[in-house]
């Protein structure tokens, strides 16, 4: 009789641990879905603030860069850093 009681107790503990693992897995899935929804809403919010040109042609956006310094200035800066 002791064996059946112990084995039943072990089974209950095993089921308890499996249920806890499933709950944690579901909680992780829920968090990832919430994060994805927040990302989507953030992207939509940004897109709503942009102009029609950028909304219709997002790949043709021109990225502005700083003009390069004069080659002599760059050379003298490097020279001064080394000495």
pLDDT tens-digit readout, 13-67: 778 888 899 999 999 999 999 999 999 998 888 777 766 766 677 677 677 787 7
More confident residue, 2 or 44: 44
| Three-state DSSP class for residue 22 | helix
Q: Are 50 and 43 in contact (CB under 8 A)?
A: no
The alpha carbon torsion through 8, 11, 17, 23 (nearest 10 deg) reads -100
Choice between 3 and 50, residue whose per-residue pLDDT is larger: 50
For residue 1, the model assigns a pLDDT of 42
According to DSSP H, which parts of 1-83 are helical? 2-49, 52-56, 71-82
Written as six digits, the tokens of 68 are: 């390069």
- Supply the pLDDT for residue 35: 95
pLDDT in tens, 5-22: 556 666 777 788 888 999
Q: Determine contact, residues 60/52, Cβ cutoff 8 Å.
A: no
Region 70-78: mean pLDDT is 86
């Amino acid at each position: 009789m002791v064996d059946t009681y112990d084995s039943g107790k072990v089974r209950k503990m095993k089921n308890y641990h499996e249920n806890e693992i499933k709950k944690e897995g579901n909680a992780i899935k829920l968090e990832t879905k919430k994060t994805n929804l927040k990302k989507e809403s953030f992207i939509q919010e940004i897109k709503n603030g942009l102009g029609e040109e950028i909304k219709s042609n997002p790949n043709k956006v021109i990225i502005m860069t700083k003009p390069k310094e004069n080659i002599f200035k760059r050379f003298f800066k490097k020279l001064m850093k080394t000495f």
